[in-house]
Amino acid sequence: MAVDLQQIGKRFRFYTNLKELDMEQLKTMTGSQEETLANIISGQNYLLDELVAILKHFQDLNPQWLIYGEGSMFKPMDEDGHCHDHQKGCLKKDKAAYLGQMKNMLQELDAAEVAKGHKPDVEALKAKLDELRATES
């Protein structure tokens, strides 16, 4: 299966937006230069070795999903039901706007995956965002 750098960038941008990580936080977490991170997010001019080096800093991110668009965005929970995410954060105060932004990104990502003939696993995420939005209203 071919690797699509732009799709990886869109999925990484979706993940970092979902986790509410800005560029400064990404630089601090990964020790990477802003140019490298910006290139990954924009889907151009980076090596997969750079991506792999950055991925090790995201314990809950499923690399199979990020690179190929297969499976769930997050790694499965362990036997005790704990996620492997040690950096959980809270949603921003304007949750409705945030959830709307995430839904738009999901639709963009979904359309790109469908255009390539993939059947992405984003329906569950859309439903969860709708559910969270409903609880905020």
Q: Which helix or strand (DSSP H or E) is residue 48 part of?
A: helix 48-55
| In contact, 75 and 61? CB cutoff 8 Å | yes
Indicate the burial class of 50 (C-beta count within 10 angstroms; 0-12, 13-18, 19 or more). middle
Helices 34-42 and 5-18 cross at an angle (nearest 10°) of: 110
Q: How far apart are CA 59 and CA 80, in angstroms?
A: 16
Each residue's pLDDT expressed in tens, for the chain with a length of 137 residues: 568 899 999 999 999 998 999 999 999 999 999 999 999 999 998 888 999 999 999 989 999 899 988 888 888 765 444 444 443 444 445 666 667 777 777 777 777 777 766 655 666 677 777 877 787 76
The total number of residues shown for the chain amounts to 137
pTM of the model: 0.62
